Amino acid sequence: MGKVAIRTAVVCAAAAVAVTVLVVRHRKRSAGRWARAAAVLEELEEQCATPTLKLREVADAMVKEMNAGLESEDGCKVKMIISFVDKLPTGAEKGLFYALDLGGTNFRVLRVQLGGKEGRVVKQEYEEVSIPQELMVGGSDELFDFIASALAKFVGSEGEIHGPAGKSRELGFTFSFPVKQTSIASGTLIKWTKGFDIAATIGEDVVAELTKSLKRQGLDMRVTALVNDTVGTLAGGIYDDSDVVVAVILGTGTNAAYIERIDAIKKWQGPIPNSGSMVINMEWGNFNSSNLPMTCYDQALDVESLNPGEQIFEKLISGMYLGEVVRRVLLRLAVEASLFGDSVPPQLEVPFALRTPIMSEMHHDTSADLKVVGAKLKEFLGISKTSLRTRKLIVQICDIVAKRGARLAAAGIFGILKKLGRHDAKRRTVIAMDGGLYEHYTSFRESLLSTLNEMLGDEAAASVQVILANDGSGIGAALLAASHS
Strands (E), 398-481: 429-434, 464-468
CB nearer ligand BGC, residue 220 or residue 304 = 304
Tell me which of 211, 217, 230, 447 binds ligand BGC, using CB under 6 A.
Answer: 230
Q: Shortest Cβ distance from residue 79 to ligand BGC (Å)?
A: 9
Q: Shortest Cβ distance from residue 284 to ligand BGC (Å)?
A: 9
Q: Which residues pair with 7 in a beta bridge?
A: none
Nearest in space to 339 (alpha carbons), one of 388, 390, 381, 293: 390
Q: Shortest Cβ distance from residue 223 to ligand BGC (Å)?
A: 17
Q: Which of residues 68-107 bind ligand BGC (CB under 6 A)?
A: 103
User: Could you tell me which stretch among 37-45, 110-118, 253-261, 342-350 binds ligand BGC (CB under 6 A)?
Assistant: 253-261
360 is an interface residue for ligand BGC by CB under 6 A: no
Tell me which of 69, 178, 232, 345 binds ligand BGC, using CB under 6 A.
Answer: 178
Count of alpha carbons within 13 Å of 404, Cβ hemisphere only? 27
Q: Residue 229 catalytic? A: yes
CB nearer ligand BGC, residue 69 or residue 345 = 69
Nearest in space to 255 (alpha carbons), one of 194, 173, 172: 194
Q: Which residue is nearest to ligand BGC (CB)?
A: 253
Q: Shortest Cβ distance from residue 102 to ligand BGC (Å)?
A: 10
- Helix, strand and coil content of the chain, in percent to the nearest 5, comes to 50, 20, 30
CB nearer ligand BGC, residue 283 or residue 298 = 283
Selecting among 79, 194, 403, 419, the annotated active-site residue is 194
Q: Give whole-number Cα distances, 402 to 49, 316, 324, 438, 444, in Å.
A: 12, 9, 11, 11, 6
Q: Shortest Cβ distance from residue 277 to ligand BGC (Å)?
A: 20
- Phi/psi of residue 107, nearest 5 degrees: -130, 160
Q: Residue 471 catalytic? A: no
- Residue type for position 245: V
Q: Which of residues 254-313 bind ligand BGC (CB under 6 A)?
A: 254-255, 283, 285
Strands (E), 15-168: 81-82, 94-102, 106-115, 121-130
Number of residues binding to ligand BGC, judged by CB under 6 A: 17
- Residue type for position 389: R
Are the C-beta atoms of 99 and 474 separated by less than 8 Å? yes
Tell me which of 50, 174, 176, 356 binds ligand BGC, using CB under 6 A.
Answer: 176
| H helices present in 293-387, as ranges | 296-303, 312-317, 322-337, 356-363, 371-381
Selecting among 205, 229, 302, 471, the annotated active-site residue is 229
Q: Shortest Cβ distance from residue 21 to ligand BGC (Å)?
A: 56
177 is an interface residue for ligand BGC by CB under 6 A: yes
Query: Can you give the three-state secondary structure of 9-32, one letter per residue?
Result: HHHHHHHHHHHHHHHHHHHHHHHH
314 is an interface residue for ligand BGC by CB under 6 A: yes
Tell me which of 193, 213, 288, 451 binds ligand BGC, using CB under 6 A.
Answer: 193
- Residue type for position 19: V
Active-site residues, by number, are 194, 229
Binding residues (CB under 6 A) for ligand BGC: these are 103, 176-178, 193-194, 228-230, 249, 251, 253-255, 283, 285, 314
